[in-house]
A and B are shown apart, each in its own frame.
Chain A
Amino acid sequence: MNKNFSFKLHFPILVFGIAAPFLFPGLQLQFATLWVMVLFALTWDIMGGQMGYNSLGNIFFFGVGMYTSVLFQVGQFAEIGAYTAAHGGDSFTFTNAEYYQGLVIGIIMSGVVAAITAALLGWTVFGLRGPYFAIGTLGMAIAAGELMGTWEWVGAGSGISVPVFPGSAYARSLLFYFLCFGAAVLTFVAVQWIYKTRFGLAVNAIRDDEEKAEAMGIHTLRYKTVAWSISAFFVGISGALFGNITGIIEPLEVAFPTVTFGIFMVAMTLLGGKGTLWGPVLGAILFHTLKEVTWTYFLGWQWVALGVLIIVNVVFFQQGIMGWLMEKFPEKFGIVVENKEATR
């Protein structure tokens, strides 16, 4: 993709991102969710699109990040067991300083812990290929939700509430809007950069033919583990933010929502075009917009509409929007026959 095209997209999106919460004050949290969706799609594409490992369990790191964050937010100032106790639990209030210190450390640690978890799991999970990898990771995410639901210390099935924001509701949604927007921008910048380095080529090589990549001496396991850790890092951060937006973290629906967010991240990437930089971004924007519109105007039919979209996409339009554009206008993407005289 040429620089000019990228800039033409970067700039309006940045301007829109900054202006949106002021232009549509009533939709701040919907827009915050949109950026989380963009982040989801971008991080899923590192694995599913660029590296060819279709993980259905990336949402696992969302929950890991969410729980990590709240445990750091609370745990620095209070005893977790007492905080989450269902009966006779103490009540806690956090000072402003405690709240913000907790939030910053919670967000950072959510990314770090998710990345480390991915690295540790990678050693075992990357023994699986193709559909087995997809099912294995899905199982991991479902199991995590169920296990968290039985762990009393973190609130078990009734969940754990996030420290209450010490300001107005408007300030709260504005803060978390910009944190989500910032996280999405950071993710985009990070993936754009890594795809330009040797890393991008290596994960593409693994996608196209992993056996060949091994035969050429590429450190395949190292690349796969790092790819997953990078993906997990940003998903973990999004989990921390989303947990704080929701206010209460419940294991199955909020922290490990495998059948909603977990599948959305795949569907959005496929819609936009997997294995491309901009595909996931476009896919997330379209998907989320359609989802919000159907939820608002066709309530009762919203899942049908999403189902139809996914089926049409997968059956008739597998390459997604960016993939289709690349097929249609290859020369715009630098796919040309070029003789020596033209270049030297």
Chain B
Amino acid sequence: MTNYVIEVEGVTKSYGGVVANQSISMKVPDGKITGLIGPNGSGKTTLFNSIVGYHPIDEGSIKFKGQEISSLRVPQIARLGLLRTFQQTRIYSNMNCIENMLISVPHRKMGFADMFGEREDKATMEEVERLLDFVGLYEKRRLRSGDLSFGQQKLLEFAMALMNKPEVLLLDEPTAGINPTLINGLIDRLRRANEEFGITLFVIEHNMRVIMNMAESIYCLAHGEMLAHGSPDEIQNDQRVIDAYLGAH
């Protein structure tokens, strides 16, 4: 039997008059890579925001490992092990890469005294260096992260997410704005994060080559509604998806 880490049930979210998500239901299986595609404005990021608690939902239920999380706030959900990255890369731009990584340690069990805890113990530093090496930023680790190139910032954000040891990682367009050679490296690293660290990935992506290669199952949104769900092959050959999003080749 498949275990589902995220279970979304009948979620509706509207902004003013715009219904961004209309009774969306979907499930993310544990330990797998799941994709989310759809045209611009179809409600993908809204769904992400709803899952991580960025805004309250109008209706429906969102469960993380069986626990209802739709009324929790962003930091509480993050501390449960459900983390997201942003479409517009977000890092702490005035801090160097090492500092960005150090503060990204899991905050799950942090008590009051841990606020003034040691931040650079040996094990943490080794982990920081290993992960910065993993994304190829080791040499630049002492530079102000805001001075890195866009692609490098994206890699840093990914490394920060790994540093947090999440169980599930929601990635919002991880390859957008990254050059083709770097994309291959990033796909490889995403796969390895999934296989080696056991992190479940739920990925929004417009790059079809990337998502079709990586994901085991894909959801497609259009106009705020769930249009289709299936394996990459099924999605690619689904007439509704082709009409709404992929276009005829």
Contact = CB atoms under 8 A, between A and B. Distances in A.
Given A197-B119, A275-B94, 18 more contacts: A197-B118, A198-B116, A201-B99, A202-B103, A204-B92, A205-B103, A211-B90, A215-B86, A216-B104, A216-B160, A217-B106, A217-B107, A219-B115, A222-B115, A334-B142, A335-B143, A336-B143, A337-B140
Interface of B: 52, 73-75, 78-79, 83-84, 86, 90-96, 99, 102-104, 106-108, 110, 112, 114-119, 138-144, 160, 164
Nearest to A227: B115
Nearest to B160: A216
Contacts of B92: 204-205, 208-209, 212-213
B139 A340 contact: yes
A218 interface: yes
A209 B78 contact: no
Nearest to A209: B90
Contacts of A133: none
Contacts of A226: 115
A219 B99 contact: no
Contacts of B91: 208-209, 212
Contacts of B102: 198, 201
Interface of A: 194, 196-202, 204-205, 207-209, 211-220, 222-223, 226, 275, 334-340
- 9 interchain residue pairs of minimum CB distance: A217-B78, A208-B92, A201-B103, A212-B90, A217-B79, A217-B107, A197-B116, A198-B119, A214-B74
A154 B28 CA distance: 63
A79 to B, nearest CB: 39
Contacts of A205: 92, 95, 103
Contacts of A338: 139, 141-142
A334 B142 CA distance: 7
Contacts of A223: 115
A337 B143 contact: yes
Given A204-B92, A209-B92, A217-B108, A335 B144 contact: yes
B86 A216 contact: no
Contacts of A334: 142
